[in-house]
Chains A and B, each alone.
Chain A
Amino acid sequence: MNHNAVPFSPIALVGTIALLGAYAVAAWCAAAGIAGNALKSRRFVSSSVYGLYGFGALIGLASSLMIYAFVTHDFSIKYVSEVSDVTMPLSYKVTAFWGGLDGSLLFWVLVLALFSTIAIVVNHKRHRDMIGYVVATIMIVQIFFLSILIFTKNPFATFLTQPPIDGKGLNPLLQNYWMVIHPPSLYTGFVAATIPFAFAIGALASGRLDDLWLGSVRVWMLICFGFLSLGLILGGRWAYEELGWGGYWAWDPVENAGFMPWFTATAFLHSAIIQEQRGTMKTWNLSLVVITFFLTIFGTFMTRSGAVKSVHAFGEDNVLALQFIAFLGLIACVSIGLIVYRANKLATKTQFESFISREFAFLLNNWILLACAFFVLFATMWPTITEAFGSREELDAKFFNKWMPVLGLILLWLAGAAPLLAWRKTTRERLWNQFFWPTVATAVVVVGILVLFPNATHLSPIFSDRVRVPLALITFGMVAFTFGSIIQEYVRGTSVRMKKSGSDPVSSLLGMVLMNRRKYGGYIVHLGVAVLFVGFAGKAYDRMIDRTIEKAGVVNADGTGTSSFSFGDYTFAYERFIHTSDDHKDAFTAQVSIWRDGEKITTVYPAKWDYHKQEQQMTTEVAITVQPTEDVYVVLTGFELEQGVANFRVYLNPLILWVWVGFLILGVGTLVCLIPQFVVDWLVGWRPKTPLGRAADVGLLVAIVVGVTLGIASQAHAAPPAGGEHVPAGMGMGADSEGWAAKNRPENDTQGRAMNELLCPCGCAHQTIADCPCSTAAELRRKVMDLMAGADLSNDEGRQRAYDAVLAQFVKEYGQTVLATPKSQVSWLLPALAAVGGLGVLVVLGRRWMTHRAAVPAAPAAAAPQPGDDDYADKLDDELSRTD
């Protein structure tokens, strides 16, 4: 496009027009939607619905243009020149779309347009008397973001003068796999909270305050919950790998902003069930929906307007802050006003009957979750609050860590205890029967830990420094309790079902889960949370050491020597210092071998990268060795190039792996909750008839189970693309960074083929040495050519042999990871396969279970003769036997 001619970009022009058009359409939709439902005019409501689809299309157009500008390097557009440059890999160019403030707002609008389109397509018939209000609410939110986009932060703004030849490039801290997917998943969670809010406002405005809207809203809240969880955990993963301070969660304001709505969304998911079961808590649920939405906008405001400074807040901006405050005020006024206006309709009479009931446990859970949200809000805003009253005072992570574990442990206990209680009231005499095994599990685990690890009674401060309790030990006890309780629920439920349907345990289990997806999916989420807590508890035992080694390579055969140091069970030997350089950066790498009991476990390559474009920023490339018991986390904290002095910081982080595993379990549970009814219905109608069909089922089932197990195991093992893999062993050194890409080009096809199959060690984007512009790649290309030098390339067979020999030699020297299509690549797919496979298991076993169920007549319901109402009682019994 216009690289260096006049500063005119047709893309920018069309993009801006699309945004302006969308603005007008949104205004029409909002007006038509409200008018349509208020006047009961079908025409206007329909018009607003189609308008919403058209709005989505216009935003899609603007987004396509934005990405088009990125991939064609249209640096006449300011935003493009600020967050991208020519040399960035394609994937980062596409994702740079949401890499800065302007683009992330457009991305927000795009995702909301997409979600609202889906939500309206699904719901517009069911909720026709409120859909106009729903569309209007969504559109007013869109208008808010669009007005920021158009008037303050237009991503299509162009330079008035000569545009730059090349862009500034994306912040190297953000050029990371996790960072590419972390912000969009958090935004997606935020955006998903808008849909429940719109339905809540629609219900309030139309006065349709029965439970109907709840069903539509719960799914979206679950999606919100899922994406927020994903975003939070990915943020943690990013921090763990990229920031190099040994942890994954530091109560950073940006993370907190995502955490607050997570608490309220979780609270809603529980209290919505109370409303469904008991018809109470309508006001409470509406309030939670409103608060969740409010917190998403507030969180965005907090981090994006610079109200709270943070590692990745987007900077200070007063106009933006005022816009946000006005919008937050509008949300609060409209919501509170409508709730007060409808107070009469919302009032419910039903009372709680007993404290030992599930609804009371849920209520408690709601209060604690709200307390968590409030606490995080308070502590995050504390610097701002104190600044307003005089001097700015910071609260660090230690403060959060004194409060949150206590609240978290109560929640964890409730996650285990609530499933043991019945709705309305639990028979007191049966309580012991319910709590016995979980309590035994707790006792066994606590005693076991005390016997095996006497020093596990590590005391951590809660609330204030003076109060100290063995927090980690309590956590392990609570985890055991939750596991005991959930497993007991599954076991007892399955056995009841086995008795009723007469089928085998596996079919009964799956039938039970499939028929009560929300309940048993929720229990899986509880298990995931418990596993997460195992990881959190490990935090109490982490250790850190700083070491300065003056000279590399003085290492004996058992790893000891003056270049070595010991820490925990390990000995770390600093073997050599490597300085490489390419077009983007200088890489300073230390080669460190890790030993245990005189045996070398592994060699790691912690590094610092100095990006040429971002002079003052050196990024820390951490080397993490993952083990189920503890991660060994090596950071190169400093170095002296001339003498080879290196400063290391080593963290031993026990049990951290379980944080990621716990999240995977939580994700599976969320997916189970989200299985739509029609999938289950479809299963009912689809039964294998022939023995061959059943044999095929069993074969498929075995394959899936094996796949899932391997998938999860390899995920657990291969999850981190450890920092160390960036610079494999023995990479050459180069001081110059000029035109490496052009050196040592292949002389024939066979060499080219081999080069295309070998990965370049520079950077984390998977480039092959054929494409990679760094010096090491040039040297490796030379090596390929040397290895092939004597080979006979005159026929196919010879060419293949030479090709295989080169690859074999590389694998021998550097390991499987050098291959562009090795097993490790597939490992990225495995979590997805595991999820799909898990659903597959449900499908197959569900089918089997359905056939069993068909054979056995349902148990008759308890008879309850009502004089004169026998017909109706029959009808009810009929209904009961059809329901599962």
Chain B
Amino acid sequence: MTSATIGKIVLTCAVVLGGAGFLVYSAFGSTEKYRMVHDLVHDGFDKWKDTDLKVHGYVQAGSIIEAIEGQDTDRTFILERNGVRIRVFSKGPKPDTFKDRAEVIATGRLVPGADLQARADAICKALKNPTGCPIRADAEQKMVLDSTDMTAKCPSKYDGAPAIELNPQYK
């Protein structure tokens, strides 16, 4: 084998391995962590700061407060799982099956509750019948979830699949 051939092989391997390594590295960097509500609290919030999270839990009954401000819909509710709760803020559309006790996966980032206190107050102000107000954003945890997307989970009749995500439009 000539040194040129060996050089070619080494170069090819380097490119392939380098590419694959960088791929794995970048995949770790950009995964959305799929978490249960209690994981967040249990592991401490700092671990999840500045990460895109998918938080899985149930909507606490009676916690949904929704207001239309101008032409924007803003809402806040409490996501609960195994007795641990976190407040979620979300704008825009919601899944059809979003209601009390619905199983929800909310995608978003953790922010300090105090930062969203103004938003909570604005929701209360826009309501004609402000039940549940005023809202203290950090009453449950010091951090709240600022959600950009919500997906509802519900049982499917399609070929006995236990659970599939049914509202891909909210991806």
Residues of A participating in the B interface, judged by any CB pair closer than 8 Å: 82, 100-101, 168, 171, 239, 243-246, 250, 252, 306, 309-316, 371, 375, 378-379, 382, 386, 391-399, 402-403, 463-465, 546-550, 565, 608, 614, 616-618, 620, 635, 637-638, 645, 647, 649
Contact = CB atoms under 8 A, between A and B. Distances in A.
Nearest to A379: B27
Contact of B92 (A239, A306, A392, A649): A649
B71 A548 contact: yes
Contacts, number: 118
Contact of B159 (A309, A314, A547): A314
Given A82-B159, A616-B154, A311 B168 contact: yes
A379 to B, nearest CB: 7
Contact of B33 (A378, A393, A548): A393
A100 B159 contact: yes
Contacts of A386: 31
B26 A463 contact: yes
Interface stretch (B80-88, B93-101, B115-123): B93-101
Contacts of A314: 158-159, 161
Given A311-B164, A638-B93, A243 B169 contact: yes
A618 B96 contact: yes
Contacts of B7: none
B159 A101 contact: yes
Interface in B1-51: 19, 22-23, 26-27, 29-34
A647 B93 contact: yes
B161 A313 contact: yes
Given A82-B159, A311-B168, A393-B32, 10 more contacts: A309-B165, A392-B34, A394-B34, A464-B30, A546-B73, A550-B68, A637-B169, A638-B96, A647-B92, A649-B92
Contact of B168 (A250, A391, A403): A250
Given A250-B168, A608-B96, A637-B93, A464 B26 contact: yes
A608 B94 CA distance: 14
B160 interface: yes
B155 A616 contact: yes
Given A382-B31, A614-B157, A546 B72 contact: yes
Contacts of A393: 31-34
B161 A315 contact: yes
A399 B34 contact: no
Main secondary structure of the interface of B (DSSP, over half): mixed
Interface centre among A243, A394, A403 (most CB of B within 10 A): A394
B171 to A, nearest CB: 6
B114 interface: no
Contact of B72 (A395, A548, A649): A548
A245 B171 contact: yes
B162 A316 contact: yes
A431 to B, nearest CB: 24
20 contacts: A100-B159, A168-B157, A239-B168, A246-B169, A250-B171, A313-B161, A313-B164, A314-B159, A315-B159, A371-B19, A394-B31, A395-B27, A395-B32, A397-B171, A399-B27, A399-B31, A463-B26, A546-B73, A546-B91, A638-B96
B19 A391 contact: no
Nearest to B170: A245
A616 B158 CA distance: 12
B85 to A, nearest CB: 22
A103 to B, nearest CB: 11
Contacts of B27: 378-379, 382, 395, 399
Given A101-B159, A616-B154, A647 B32 contact: no
Contacts of A171: 157-158
Interface residues of B, number: 37
Contacts of A382: 27, 31
B64 interface: no
Interface centre among A397, A402, A464, A616 (most CB of B within 10 A): A616
Interface centre among B29, B31, B72, B159 (most CB of A within 10 A): B159
Main secondary structure of the interface of A (DSSP, over half): mixed
A783 to B, nearest CB: 33
B166 interface: yes
Nearest to A647: B93
A403 B29 CA distance: 14
A312 B161 CA distance: 10
Contacts of B33: 391, 393
B30 A244 contact: no
B109 interface: no
B29 A464 contact: yes
A245 B32 contact: no
A546 B157 contact: no
Interface centre among A310, A311, A635 (most CB of B within 10 A): A311
A211 B10 CA distance: 31
A265 B54 CA distance: 36
Contact of B162 (A315, A392, A549, A649): A315
Interface centre among A313, A397, A637 (most CB of B within 10 A): A637
A546 B158 CA distance: 30
Contacts of A375: 23
Interface centre among B29, B71, B96 (most CB of A within 10 A): B71
Interface centre among A312, A464, A548, A616 (most CB of B within 10 A): A548
4 pairs of A and B residues whose beta carbons are closest in the complex: A637-B93, A315-B161, A393-B31, A546-B92
Contacts of A379: 27
Contacts of A245: 168-171
A550 B73 CA distance: 10
B108 to A, nearest CB: 13
Contacts of B160: 315
A309 B34 contact: no
Contacts of A306: 161
Interface centre among B91, B93, B165 (most CB of A within 10 A): B93
Contacts of B171: 245, 250, 396-397
Contacts of B161: 306, 313-316
Contacts of A239: 168
B158 A394 contact: no
A618 B168 CA distance: 12
A398 B159 CA distance: 30
Contacts of A464: 26, 29-30
B169 A244 contact: yes
A509 B59 CA distance: 67
Contacts of A399: 26-27, 30-31
Nearest to B152: A616
Nearest to B73: A548
Contact of A395 (B30, B162, B165, B169): B30
A637 B72 CA distance: 13
Given A379-B27, A464-B29, A546-B93, A243 B168 contact: yes
Contacts of B31: 382, 386, 393-395, 399
Contacts of A546: 72-73, 91-93
A614 B156 CA distance: 9
A645 B66 CA distance: 13
Contacts of A315: 158-162
A566 to B, nearest CB: 10
A421 B168 CA distance: 45
Nearest to A244: B169
Given A171-B158, A315-B160, A391 B34 contact: yes
Contacts of B154: 616
Contacts of A313: 161, 164
A688 B29 CA distance: 68
Contacts of B166: 616-617
A614 B22 CA distance: 45
Contacts of B34: 391-394
A314 B23 CA distance: 29
A505 B169 CA distance: 51
Contact of B54 (A82, A101, A243, A394): A394
A171 B27 CA distance: 34
Interface string B66-81: 0010011100000000
Contacts of A463: 22, 26
Contacts of A547: 71-72
